[in-house]
Amino acid sequence: MSRPFLSVANLAVHFPTSDGLVRATDGLSYTLERGKTLGIVGESGSGKSVSSSAILGLHRGTNAQVSGEIWFDGTDLLSLSDEDMRRRRGKDVAMIFQDPLSALHPYYRVGDQISEAYLAHNQVSKRVARARTIEMLDRVGIPQPDRRVDDYPHQFSGGMRQRVMIAMALINDPILLIADEPTTALDVTVQAQILDLLQELQREFNTALIMITHDLGVIAEIADDVLVMYAGRAVEYGATRDLMTQPAMPYTWGLIQSIPDVTRSVDLPLRPIPGNPPSLLNQPPGCAFFARCEYAQFVPGDRCATTLPDLLPLSDGHLKRCHLDHDLASYAVVETGAI
């Protein structure tokens, strides 16, 4: 049987510190095929970015302890030499960051920064790289690209800067694109334009896309599958339609209830998830969500407090990490008015 295009298996990323071991990601597994989008959603510190950075080898040269397997297009990326990883990073796998202003160098013209990404992986002249840069700026919707290529980052609006970042990420035709909160810093209308552009380019280049976000609304818009992360672990995973229509565990219920809805009555308050995630230095012995979970009362005994639930299949391809079984979950939803 052939491997999926991207297969992450039992990935762990730990950081030794003077206070102890920070388990930023533990036992993470998922797959992704070409042309498809996986949304990874969770609060800050849930391990979304740390785990995705491991695919790009960004923890190499740091004190991070990375284990597990990352099979990408037939190669285990964790077993590559630093030199081979450098060759693939930016070419086969590229990343779009949340804040283009800090990702772009303020003193260099945007065209030079994009060309540099092309020259790093292609034996071509600067003239050819510049022509390719102008072509990409045009492709991502920058007006007058042959003139704007010589502008500096501060001369672009936030939305245009994010388009520049997308042009830079796509200039080498990567087959996997990781977008880390690419629309968080943008106005809602610009956000929609950038999501449309990403989907259009993904279709054109048949790129696999990992969309990292804290916003389930963005996921509902563009992802085929969703991985919900909490405190470094996957807590729910499945097809977007299944997860959005039949979310199966309390943290996902909380995320869905937190999506602002302009059609809801102004008298109805938003339902934020109370409390904060646990410290990754000192994870509780049971379910990491226990201290915030109003549904633990429906699980018999003290299992939520003492036993970490496994990530188990609920139906075909839909997995959840929660001790509530199906009947108890239905009962809890009716009792509490969740979702």
Helix (H), strand (E) at residue 314: strand 311-315
Does residue 293 interact with ligand SF4 by CB under 6 A? yes
Contact range with ligand SF4 by CB under 6 A, out of 11-19, 52-60, 108-116, 322-330: 322-330
Contact 193, 161 (CB under 8 A): no
Q: Nearest CA to 163 among 279, 272, 175, 151?
A: 151
Q: Looking at 40, 289, 314, 319, which residue binds ligand SF4 (CB under 6 A)?
A: 289
User: For residues 225 and 295, what is the distance between their CA atoms, to the nearest angstrom?
Assistant: 25
Quick count: other Cβ atoms within 10 Å of Cβ 39?
A: 26
Binding-site member from 295, 310, 313, 319 for ligand SF4 (CB under 6 A): 295
CB under 8 Å to 169, separation ≥6 — which residues? 94, 95, 96, 177
Residue among 55, 280, 299, 314 that touches ligand SF4 (CB under 6 A)? 299
Q: How far is the CB of 312 from ligand SF4 (least distance, A)?
A: 11
Distance CA 219, CA 158 (A): 21
| Residue 323 binding ligand SF4, by CB under 6 A | yes
Give bridge partners of residue 161 from the DSSP assignment.
Answer: none
Interaction residues for ligand SF4, span 50-109 (CB under 6 A): none
Task: Find the binder of ligand SF4 among 309, 314, 326, 330 (CB under 6 A).
Answer: 309
> Kindly report the CA angle at 170 between 168 and 174, in degrees rounded to 5?
130
Distance in angstroms (rounded) separating the CA atoms of residues 118 and 95 = 14
Which residue, 122 or 312, has its beta carbon nearer to ligand SF4? 312
Vertex 205 angle, CA 203 and 209, to 5°: 70
Site residues for ligand SF4, 125-164, by CB under 6 A, read none
Instruction: CB nearer to ligand SF4: give 200 or 339.
Output: 339
In whole angstroms, give the CA distance from residue 30 to residue 307: 23
Which lies closer to ligand SF4 via its Cβ, residue 269 or residue 301?
301
Question: C-beta of 235: minimal distance to ligand SF4 in Å?
Answer: 7
- Which of 100, 174, 232, 250: binder of ligand SF4 (CB under 6 A)? 250
Q: How far is the CB of 3 from ligand SF4 (least distance, A)?
A: 32
The single residue among 56, 296, 314, 319 that binds ligand SF4, judged by CB under 6 A, is 296
Tokens of 111: 């065209």
Tally of CB atoms within 10 A around 46: 27
What CA–CA distance (Å, rounded) separates 223 from 236?
15
When binding is defined by CB under 6 A, the residue of 22, 169, 243, 322 that contacts ligand SF4 is 322
Binds ligand SF4 by CB under 6 A, chosen from 304, 310, 327, 330: 304
CA–CA distances in Å: residue 279 to residues 5, 112, 232: 34, 42, 10
For the bound state, the minimum distance from the C-beta of residue 46 to ligand SF4, rounded and expressed in Å, comes to: 14
Rounded distance between C-alpha atoms, residue 151 and residue 74, angstroms: 40
Residue closer to ligand SF4 by CB (options 97, 253) is 253
Q: Name the residue nearer to ligand SF4 (CB basis): 28 or 299.
A: 299
**Rounded Cα–Cα distance for residues 291 and 278 (Å):** 8
Q: Using the rule CB under 6 A, is 290 a contact of ligand SF4?
A: yes
Q: How far is the CB of 326 from ligand SF4 (least distance, A)?
A: 13
Applying CB under 6 A, among 249, 255, 314, 319 the residue interacting with ligand SF4 is 249
**Residue 282, both tokens:** 């000192």
**Which residues contact ligand SF4 by CB under 6 A?**
249-250, 287, 289-290, 293, 295-296, 299, 304, 309, 322-324
